[in-house]
Amino acid sequence: MLNQKKVAVVLPAYNASRTLRRTFDEIPKDIVDDIILTDDASSDNTATLARELGIATIRHDHNIGYGGNQKTCYQAALSRGADIIVMLHPDYQYSPKLVPAMTAMIASEEFDCVLASRILGTGALSGGMPLYKYLANRALTFIENLLLGAKVSEYHTGYRAWSRKVLERLPLLACSDDFVFDNQMLVQTMQFGFRIGEISCPTKYFPEASSINFRRSCVYGLGVLKTAMQFRLKKLGLAHPAFLADKPEERLRFRELKAIAHYQ
């Protein structure tokens, strides 16, 4: 626990058996009370390995997508009593050693959400981020900051920490089940007035680390631009996108976990 707050780390997993143990070993167990892995119908032994490591493991009986997987992660963390929830990819691309710093920023009650940015500092390219992804990251972030009226160094990190009140408040079930979920969730966070902090994070690109291909990256990029434009149009009163509507029935705490084959 940290400042009397229960800390959970959630691991949205898909074919992560080659990197899961390294990720798990570096999670600081002295402050983390609960570790939850959600396996999105992997074709490898991710779920089996997770159970062997003593991780609370959920396995979808069919693949529901990256965003859908996160919805399950967050719902499970809330149902198990977490006050601070860290979402960490189990592909060992991000350093688990930053969990204490990220959770401390939320436990201090100065921030409601903390992003581990690969762009703050100079480690993205040296860590192996492909040049085209780096340039796309910078371009998309620049456009998003203009449309959203914000000043965030990176919207596309897969390493984030959340307070319980954020996850209970956001209508996350209205967000996509695909990769653009991450971006929609951040825009919701801004829409509902929560405070976002950032911390510099080194990154590691290597063959075993997960990464979407060029085509999926393009689809994601277009989705990001659409999301930012929808936010701007809503501010102008010209559009009412469903994922930005304040609907209690779209909050996680009002729904049961779905598509679950095993929950231990």
43 in a structural domain:
yes
pLDDT at 180 exceeding the cut of 50 = yes
pLDDT at 183 exceeding the cut of 70 = yes
Mean pLDDT of the residues in the chain: 92
Residue-level pLDDT at 227: 98
CATH code of the domain in which 206 resides:
3.90.550.10
**Model's pTM, two decimal places?**
0.92
Q: How confident is the model at residue 32 (pLDDT cuts 50, 70, 90)?
A: very high
Whose structure tokens read 């319980």?
A: 164
pLDDT at 262 exceeding the cut of 70 = no
For 35-91, give the DSSP string.
Answer: EEEEE-S-SSSHHHHHHHTT-EEEEESS---HHHHHHHHHHHHHHTT-SEEEE--TT
More confident residue, 101 or 216: 101
139 in a structural domain:
yes
Q: Across the beta sheet with 113-117, what order do the strands follow?
A: 196-200, 113-117, 160-163, 84-87, 7-13, 34-39, 56-60, 260-263
In whole angstroms, give the CA distance from residue 34 to residue 7.
7
Tokens found for residue 164: 């319980």
The closest of 36, 43, 48, 44 to 12, measured between CA atoms, is 36
163 in a structural domain:
yes
3-state secondary structure (DSSP) of residue 177: coil
127 in a structural domain:
yes
Number of helical (H) and strand (E) elements in the chain, helices listed first: 9, 8
Quote the number of domains for the chain: 1
Span 44-59, average pLDDT: 97
pLDDT tens for residues 107-120? 999 999 999 999 98
- Rounded to the nearest 5 degrees, what angle is found at the Cα of 202, between the Cα atoms of 196 and 11? 70
H-run or E-run covering 222: helix 214-235
2 in a structural domain:
no
Residue-level pLDDT at 190: 97
1 in a structural domain:
no
Q: How confident is the model at residue 223 (pLDDT cuts 50, 70, 90)?
A: very high
Q: How confident is the model at residue 234 (pLDDT cuts 50, 70, 90)?
A: very high
Greatest Cα-to-Cα distance within the chain, rounded to the nearest angstrom: 52
Residue-level pLDDT at 208: 67
264 in a structural domain:
no
In whole angstroms, give the CA distance from residue 109 to residue 195.
10
The closest of 258, 103, 130, 108 to 205, measured between CA atoms, is 130
More confident residue, 258 or 66: 66
CA dihedral sign, ordered 178, 180, 182, 184: negative
37 in a structural domain:
yes
pLDDT at 210 exceeding the cut of 70 = no
The closest of 68, 91, 78 to 260, measured between CA atoms, is 68
Residue-level pLDDT at 125: 78
Q: How confident is the model at residue 184 (pLDDT cuts 50, 70, 90)?
A: very high
What single letter denotes the amino acid at residue 248? P
- Rounded to the nearest 5 degrees, what angle is found at the Cα of 14, between the Cα atoms of 251 and 140? 65
What range defines the domain where residue 17 resides? Answer: 7-258
Top mean-pLDDT range of 33-42, 125-134, 206-215, 247-256? 33-42
pLDDT tens for residues 63-103? 999 999 999 999 999 999 999 999 999 999 999 999 999 99
